[in-house]
Amino acid sequence: MSDKYVIKLYDEVCQNLEGDYKIILEPGRELKNDWIEYDSVKWRLEEKLGELVENLKKDSELSFEDKLFSVYKFICLNYIYDDNVLFFFRKDVSDPENPKYIAVDWYGRIVDNSWIENRQKHNRRICYEFARFYAKALNELLDENDDMEAVMVGDRENLHYFVGLTGERYSILLDLDDFNKIKDLTRLKLGLTIDGITILRDDNKIFQNALNSFNKGKLIELEEVENIKNTLRDKNKIEYFNAIVTVLKKFNIDSQGFMEYMRTIIENEDIDTDKIWKKIAGDGEKRHVRCLVFEYDGNTYLVDTVEQTLNKIDINNINKDVYITNPEEHEYPYFGG
């Protein structure tokens, strides 16, 4: 791959996204810039994803874009977001006017073989892991095509990562777990359109046409949810939220898909939500997942993402052995994967 496209991608990212970004490459390249970082491990595919990529490489009838979406869909349907990583973020308040969170290095980013082996026991991954093996999959499918390359793109604070695909024909960003909205990890499980792709350059509409083709016939929002919005939204907010809970439970989505969907629904009503963490016990590992609390009409409500319920609570008497409100105020060592 010519380095000129990687350099051009960085310029396109800077022009189109707010914030300060870097490009992460697989070890072994010679490109050196202050915005280049090399991963700590060699990229490799997990077994089932590797099998899919090998089968796609043998299919001469599918376009590269078709294969790209096949892998994107496979990841979204077979993996879930591991929000446990967020539990270990540290809150830096050294500047009271600009508090920020600091990611831990060892959770999915700087890893050893034992971490990689332990991750095979479940399907939870973080953005760095998704970006790492999705970029690897795309480069395998490109099969040494010098005109295109997939790399990782991340913000300088190490808070989020995604894939950049760049070359002569187009330049795009593929983000299947954007935590600022309902992730494609969740949207595709619900049969909805892809919403996590940003097209930076596509003069001949090659990728835009392929994206339109993939999304054709899919809805932006669940039809049942649209009906509930029309009938309950302006009548009773809690009944409205509970009706959507009932719809989501039919799909058996994971706790974090449920959380982000409900957070979007609630915050769209100009109601602020706060995170509250629930301990997961009995599965042989130390883990926490995000739940939500919010105030409405003088009452406090808990969205329990594990049980997938919405209930009125007394926050002062909540079980503190199960629910944690302030993890950033303590240090929690974590080992394993």
Percent of the chain at pLDDT exceeding 70: 95
Helices marked H in the chain: 3-16, 47-58, 64-78, 84-87, 113-119, 127-142, 184-187, 206-215, 223-232, 237-249, 255-267
Under a CB-based contact definition with an 8 Å cutoff, are residues 130 and 76 in contact? Answer: no
Q: In DSSP terms, which residues pair with 290 in a beta bridge?
A: 277
Comparing 34-38, 199-203, 245-249, 322-326, which segment has the lowest mean pLDDT?
Answer: 322-326
pLDDT attached to residue 329? 63
**What pLDDT does 17 receive?**
95
Q: Provide mean pLDDT across the span 72-87.
A: 94
Q: Taking 90 as the threshold, does the pLDDT of residue 152 lie above it?
A: yes
Q: Where are the domains of the chain?
A: 3-82+126-215, 223-329
CB contact set of 279 (below 8 Å; sequence gap of 6+): 287, 288, 321, 322, 323, 324
pLDDT interval class at 124 (50, 70, 90)? very high
Q: Please, what sign has the CA dihedral across residues 74, 76, 79, 85?
A: positive
CA torsion angle 215 216 217 221 (round to 10): 40
Per-residue pLDDT reduced to its tens digit, 179-204: 889 999 999 999 999 999 999 999 99
SS3 assignment, position 102: strand
Residue with more model confidence, 100 or 26 = 26
Are the C-beta atoms of residues 49 and 138 closer than 8 Å to each other? no
For residue 96, what are its two tokens? 């009271």
DSSP letter, residue 317:
G
Q: State pLDDT tens for residues 1-12.
A: 578 899 999 999
The yes-or-no verdict on residue 19 having pLDDT over 80 is yes
Which tokens hold the place of 254?
């994971």
pLDDT, averaged across the chain: 92
- Please give the Cα distance from 92 to 103 (Å, whole number): 11
The residues pairing with 91 across neighbouring beta strands, listed in sequence order, are: 101
pLDDT higher than threshold 90 for residue 34: yes
Residue 15 pLDDT? 96
| Average pLDDT for 163-168 | 96
- If DSSP codes are grouped into helix, strand and coil, which group holds residue 85? helix
pLDDT band at 30 (very low <50, low <70, confident <90, very high): confident
pLDDT of residue 96: 82
Question: What pLDDT shows up at residue 336?
Answer: 56
pLDDT in tens, 266-317: 999 999 999 999 998 766 667 889 999 999 999 999 999 999 999 999 999 9
Q: In the chain, what percentage of residues exceed pLDDT 90?
A: 75
Phi/psi for 127 (5° steps) reads -60, -40
Which pLDDT belongs to residue 104? 79
pLDDT band at 207 (very low <50, low <70, confident <90, very high): very high
Q: Is 186 left (phi over 0), alpha (psi -120 to 50) or beta?
A: alpha
pLDDT of residue 337: 61
Confidence bin at 87 (pLDDT 50/70/90) = confident
Look at residue 75 and tell me whether its pLDDT is greater than 90. Answer: yes
| pLDDT one-digit tens code per residue, 45-67 | 999 999 999 999 999 999 999 99
| 332 pLDDT higher than 70 | no
